[in-house]
Each structure stands twice: as C-alpha cells, then as structure tokens.
Chains A and B, each alone.
Chain A
C-alpha cells in the first residue's frame, strides 16, 4: 500500500531563516506530487505541483520554491522566511491519470 510521509511535524523558525520541508511517498512510482498551504482561517491553497523529476509548476508567486530530486521525494524550501509563511503545509500525491489525491500528515510552521 502507498504511504506518504512529511517531516518535520512541527517547526518554529525566526524571520529571515531558511526552510526545508520534506515529503516522501512509498509504494508507488512516478506519482504526481503537490504542496499545499493552509493559513489560519483560510482554505488550502495549492503552491506547487510536479508530474516528474525536476518538473515543477508554481501556482502562486511567493518566496517559496519546490524541488523534486527523486521520483518520490518533494521538497519545499525558502531562503528567507517571512511572518506570512506561517501555516500548515500539506504534501499530497496522486497516481498518473487518476484524480484522487492523498494527503500527508502535514507540517505546522510558525515563523516568529
């Protein structure tokens, strides 16, 4: 069966510090991968999605970036965090040619 992992589970970082959140998927090959953010009081917003290694599409301009160095690894990064980057970050995957998305447990990021 497929599983999706995210770490860390929680993170507190000062403004201006770098960020690296990792997501890995097991039990499937060549998945589509997604990063979402859920800010306080707001709906989930798609940040990035990837259909293959090195292929990243950005949905929202911001100071975040994403990379996919391996087939089942998706990384969300920032060089300098802003207060507005605080939120709950969720990674998701879907099978190629399938619609249903499956979400990871999330990372709670607080920028202070």
Chain B
C-alpha cells in the first residue's frame, strides 16, 4: 500500500523567502502526482499535477518536480507571500484515480 511522507510537518518563514516542501512515497508505480493546498477548515485546491512521464511542472511562483524512480517530489515556492500560508498536500495516484495523501506541510509566511 502506498505511504506518503511530507517533510517538514510545519514550516515558518519570513515573507519573500524561497522555500521547498518535500514529499516521498513508497510505491513508485504511480500514474501522476498532484500538489494541493488546504486552507483551515476548507476543501482542497489543486495546484499542480505532474504526469509520471514528466520531471516538473510550473505555475506562477510554484514549481513541482518529480523523481518517480526514487519516490520523491518537491514543491518549490518562490518569493513567498502571507497569502501562501496554508497546508500543502502531495498525493500520488496509483491507478483507478486512487490518490494517497500525506499529512501535509503546514506553511506560515510571516509578514
């Protein structure tokens, strides 16, 4: 069964810093991997989806990379802003649209 680990569990940075969130997964036979953000008490917002054949995807200040063979993905956030404060979740998909989630990284960007 797929297990997903996200490190760190929590991160606090001053505004403007670049930061990296890490995700590792045990089963490398994935179809794709999604990164989501979750605001407190809210649903999930999809940020980026990387297909298993891709190495990275970019959207604005966000860049996600995928090393499928080693079971790792990173989410890079450039020039962080207070509005980026949220919990970030990675979710590899292992068939049948079955996403497995980590417990997330809770990010706080301090103005």
Contacts and interface: CB of A to CB of B under 8 A. Distances in A.
B99 A101 contact: yes
Contacts, number: 59
Best-surrounded residue of A41, A102, A103, A104 (most CB of chain B within 10 A): A103
Contacts of B108: none
B41 interface: yes
Contacts of B93: 99
Interface stretch (A12-20, A42-50, A68-76): A42-50
A6 B44 CA distance: 13
Contact of A104 (B31, B43, B49, B104): B43
Nearest to A42: B103
Interface of B: 4, 31-32, 34, 36, 41-46, 49, 51, 89, 91, 93, 96-104
- Smallest CB-CB A-B distances: 10 pairs: A44-B101, A103-B44, A43-B101, A103-B43, A105-B43, A43-B103, A106-B43, A99-B32, A100-B49, A104-B43
14 contacts: A32-B97, A43-B89, A44-B89, A44-B91, A45-B101, A49-B96, A99-B32, A99-B51, A100-B49, A101-B97, A103-B36, A103-B43, A104-B43, A106-B43
